[in-house]
Amino acid sequence: MTATLVVGLDGHGSGERAVAYAKRMAELIGDCNLLIVYIIEWSPYTFQTPEENAERHKRREEEIETALKRVVDPTVKALEKDGITAKGIVRHGHVADALNAISLEEKAEQIIVGRSTASGIAERIFGSSTAKLVMSASIPVTVVG
Amino acid sequence: MTNLNKFSLAMGVLAMSAVPAIAQEAQTMDEKINAGFASATGWFVNFIFAPLPGTSFPWIVMWLVIAATVFTFYFSFVQLKFFKHAISLVKGDYSDPNDAGEVSHFQALATALSGTVGLGNIAGVAVAVGIGGPGATFWMILAGLMGMASKFTECTLGVKYRNEYEDGTVSGGPMYYISKGFNELGLPGGKILAVLFSIFCILGALGGGNMFQANQAHAQIAGILGDYPGWITGIVFAVVVYAVIVGGVKSIARVTEKVVPFMGILYCVAALIIILVNYDKIGWAFGQIFDGAFTGLGVAGGFVGALIQGFKRAAFSNEAGVGSAAIAHSAVKTKEPITEGFVSLLEPFIDTVVICTMTALVITISGQLIIDPASGNYVVEGGKIATVGGTSGVSLTSAAFASAFSWFPYVLAIAVILFAFSTMISWSYYGLKAWTYLFGEGKTTELIFKIIFCVFIVIGAAASLGPVIDFSDAAIFAMAVVNITGLYFLMSVVKKEFNSYKSRLDSGEIKKFEH
């Protein structure tokens, strides 16, 4: 049976460390797929102007394309080059909720995320997302420091 | 800087500088604008508000009431039966997680609400109660409840017949569903109606969505800072609106979009506190509302006066049947256009049944309307109920709130200014969509409309309330004439969607998503 590990990326160094750890685990497991996931922080309960609404679909496509091009695809390619089976997903939502939802959909064994070392607001947001994920995930979570 | 940017900057500066240049003679400027405006728009106002032959009942009010009643019965009280389902949709229970990142039902509703919740709820209700007495509230609530069905019909069509462009942007609204829907059903005249609607929508955007807002915002600021010429407020507003809609300074719009809901909640909480503190008067206030609804309690025009005012202000506040919300709601991502119809029916409920009623209760309870102790009826002077201090419009609401919280007029002033601003931003978009429908999409055509819009802010702030409110009402109701005509022909399309959705919901084919 193939094991699936979900790896949460944040576009920073901590995500790279999570990928490196996941890669090591995949090599140890042998029959293992890595799912590289990038969540674009988004809430359905924000307030927008009519013009922003009208352009939302276009913006969403652009956001997904940018995330794929800059973060997800290069990681997937690098892993495949090293002989690891990997797939990329970009989705909008709350980091913790979306990572958990994808893990359940894909019947993953484990979620691997990095602990952000970035300072300021980014750390607060990602830091709390990691904590929330650990608290609420339905499957085991590994936080890579 | 591109040539277009240079052009837009030059045009903007020209438009903004033209008014103060002419206005060198200061005070008389407002009077000149006022007189010119009243004489230019009088015929239009008279036509829209013409009474039914042999009565004093304006035909346009009857038009809206009949439409709301027809839709309510045609969709067998959809506003009651699907109210709970609408809330479920807004909560995202039926939203596919794979569509995350698209415009959600909540966002479409919030955007449409920020276009309608505002002065209509504060000033409009005060006008209704000030002329028609507390009884107007009863008719206002009834109009709000019935209007939910009109809103449901138009917003479903708005999503169904919207244009989706290759670049991923969308445009929708009555001009699109009337022309495309009529074509689909093989009916003639769709294009003519769509063009007519667009013309009225532009006038409505410049009137109720702009001049009325600027006018009342100025009244608020002048109330705090002391009297000064309206065109000064107009120019300040015009510059800020110009920065947002032309300059693309999204940060201003974003701040407003976040502060406006907060102000809305604060307003409701304050109203609730006043109502609860005076709990012993709640029964009496509702008594006034019900008695006044059928007897008029001595107000001008009796119960018909109360009814006309109630329906008029409700329509002006929640815009059900007007078609504006269909433009705002058409951006939502859904495979089922009817779901947006369900969501939109919450709009008149929140706007009219909840918020407007609160305002009306506060005004009634506060005792600002003077009652003749001998007869128990309201004292009427010059067609209006006499108020403590002779206030009307926003200042009546302000005085009513001040009777409980002396500091509230300041909060209300800020709320009115922000509401006015967010309503202007919403209506600039509605007007723009109508404008581009007529003249085609393109940066230059869009810019011309945006500049005209900003110039009208200055005119609106300078003119006096009477002519502005008349013109605003007339333009918005003219949109309803065309829109509702279209809805009658297209309601069978909504019915098909409705029946199909209902059967799939009942059979369990449409399920909630696990989140």
Considering chain B, what percentage of its residues have pLDDT values greater than 70?
91
* B469 vs B195, residue with greater confidence: B195
Query: According to DSSP H, which parts of B380-464 are helical?
Result: 394-402, 408-439, 443-462
Decide: B100 and B243 in contact? Cβ < 8 Å. no
Sheet holding A85-93, edge to edge: A85-93, A32-41, A3-9, A110-114, A141-144
Q: Which residue of A has its CA nearest to B165?
A: A58
Distance CA(B485)–CA(B491), nearest Å, equals 10
Distance CA(B392)–CA(B404), nearest Å, equals 18
Q: Give the 3-state secondary structure of residue B336.
A: coil
Q: What is the pLDDT of residue B301?
A: 66
Distance to chain B for A95, nearest Cα, Å = 12
> Which candidate from B104, B114, B250 shows the least CB-CB separation from A44?
B104
Q: pLDDT digit string (tens) for B76-108?
A: 999 999 999 999 999 989 888 888 888 889 988
Decide: B425 and B237 in contact? Cβ < 8 Å. no
Question: For residue A63, which residues of chain B lie inside 8 Å, CB to CB?
Answer: 101
Q: pLDDT digit string (tens) for B323-360?
A: 999 998 887 877 889 999 999 999 999 999 999 999 99
> Which candidate from A42, A49, A57 shows the least CB-CB separation from B100?
A42
* B269 vs B262, residue with greater confidence: B269
User: Would residue B84 count as lying in a domain?
Assistant: no
Q: Give the 3-state secondary structure of residue B404.
A: coil
Q: What is the pLDDT of residue A91?
A: 92
- B113 alpha carbon, distance to own chain's centre: 9
Query: Which of A41, A42, A47 to mutate: most B Cβ within 10 Å?
Result: A47
Among the listed residues B121, B116, B56, the one whose alpha carbon sits nearest the alpha carbon of residue B308: B56
Residue B276, H or E segment:
helix B250-277
B115·A50 Cβ contact <8 A: yes
Q: Which residue of B has its CA nearest to A96?
A: B515
Mean pLDDT of B23-33: 61
Sign of CA dihedral B303, B304, B309, B314: positive
Q: What is the pLDDT of residue A119?
A: 54
- 3-state secondary structure labels for all residues of B106-172: HHHHHHHHHHHCCHHHHHHHHHHHHHHCCHHHHHHHHHHHHHHHHHHHHHHHHHHCCEECCCCCEEC
Q: Which residue of A has its CA nearest to B427?
A: A50
Report the DSSP pairing between strands A110-114 and A3-9.
parallel
Most confident of A40-54, A66-80, A125-139, B161-175: A66-80
Mean pLDDT of B32-55: 82
Q: What is the pLDDT of residue B166?
A: 84
Please check the confidence at residue B236 and state whether its pLDDT lies above 90: yes
Query: Which of A39, A42, A48, A62 to mutate: most B Cβ within 10 Å?
Result: A48
> Which candidate from B171, B250, B261 shows the least CB-CB separation from A47?
B261
Mean pLDDT of A89-101: 90
Q: What is the pLDDT of residue B11?
A: 44
Range of the domain at A11: 3-144
Please check the confidence at residue B6 and state whether its pLDDT lies above 50: no
> Which candidate from A56, A61, A91 shows the least CB-CB separation from B331?
A56
For chain A, what is the domain count? 1
User: Would residue B128 count as lying in a domain?
Assistant: yes
User: Would residue B131 count as lying in a domain?
Assistant: yes
Query: Which of A39, A57, A60, A99 to mutate: most B Cβ within 10 Å?
Result: A57
Residue A145 pLDDT level (bands cut at 50, 70, 90) = confident
> Which candidate from A44, A48, A92 shows the least CB-CB separation from B111?
A48
Considering chain B, what percentage of its residues have pLDDT values greater than 90?
37
Cβ pairs A/B, distance under 8 A: 95
Question: For residue A101, which residues of chain B lie inside 8 Å, CB to CB?
Answer: 97, 515
A47·B260 Cβ contact <8 A: yes
Please check the confidence at residue A20 and state whether its pLDDT lies above 90: yes
For chain B, what is the domain count? 1
Q: pLDDT digit string (tens) for B167-199?
A: 878 889 999 999 999 999 999 999 999 999 999
Count of H-run helices and E-run strands, chain A? 5, 5
The neighbour count for residue B277, using CB atoms within 10 Å, is 11
Q: What is the pLDDT of residue B1?
A: 41
A55·B168 Cβ contact <8 A: yes
Cα maximum dimension of chain B: 72
* A125 vs B165, residue with greater confidence: B165
* B447 vs B384, residue with greater confidence: B447
Most confident of B45-49, B232-236, B465-469: B232-236
User: Would residue B380 count as lying in a domain?
Assistant: no
Q: What is the pLDDT of residue B15?
A: 46
Q: Which residue of B has its CA nearest to A40?
A: B101
Q: What is the pLDDT of residue B272?
A: 92
* B65 vs B501, residue with greater confidence: B501
Q: What is the pLDDT of residue B3?
A: 46
Distance CA(B455)–CA(B463), nearest Å, equals 13
* B45 vs B19, residue with greater confidence: B45
Average pLDDT, chain A: 86
Residue B465 pLDDT level (bands cut at 50, 70, 90) = low
Q: Give the 3-state secondary structure of residue A81.
A: helix
Q: What is the pLDDT of residue B298?
A: 62
Distance CA(A105)–CA(A100), nearest Å, equals 9
Q: What is the pLDDT of residue B473?
A: 75
User: Would residue B35 count as lying in a domain?
Assistant: yes
B328·A64 Cβ contact <8 A: no
B328·A50 Cβ contact <8 A: yes
Contact residues, chain B to chain A, C-beta under 8 Å: 92, 95, 97-98, 100-108, 110-111, 114-115, 164, 167-171, 250, 253-254, 257-258, 260-261, 327-328, 331-333, 425-426, 429-430, 515
A53·B426 Cβ contact <8 A: no
Distance CA(B227)–CA(B441), nearest Å, equals 42
Contact residues, chain A to chain B, C-beta under 8 Å: 40, 42, 44-58, 60-61, 63-64, 91-93, 97-98, 101
Residue A76 pLDDT level (bands cut at 50, 70, 90) = very high
Among the listed residues B378, B387, B217, B374, the one whose alpha carbon sits nearest the alpha carbon of residue B302: B378
Question: For residue A50, which residues of chain B lie inside 8 Å, CB to CB?
Answer: 111, 115, 327-328, 331, 425-426, 429-430
Residue B515 pLDDT level (bands cut at 50, 70, 90) = low
Range of the domain at B358: 3-75+108-369+397-507
Q: Of B71-80, B253-262, B403-412, which gets the smallest average pLDDT?
A: B253-262
E-strand ranges in chain A read 3-9, 32-41, 85-93, 110-114, 141-144
* B7 vs B172, residue with greater confidence: B172
Mean pLDDT of B396-413: 87
Distance to chain A for B81, nearest Cα, Å = 25
Decide: A89 and A4 in contact? Cβ < 8 Å. no
ipTM for this prediction = 0.84
Supply the CATH number for residue A62's domain: 3.40.50.620
Average pLDDT, chain B: 85
Distance CA(A47)–CA(A68), nearest Å, equals 27
Q: What is the pLDDT of residue A117?
A: 52
Q: What is the pLDDT of residue A123?
A: 54
* A45 vs B257, residue with greater confidence: A45
Residue A82 pLDDT level (bands cut at 50, 70, 90) = very high
Question: For residue A46, which residues of chain B lie inside 8 Å, CB to CB?
Answer: 107
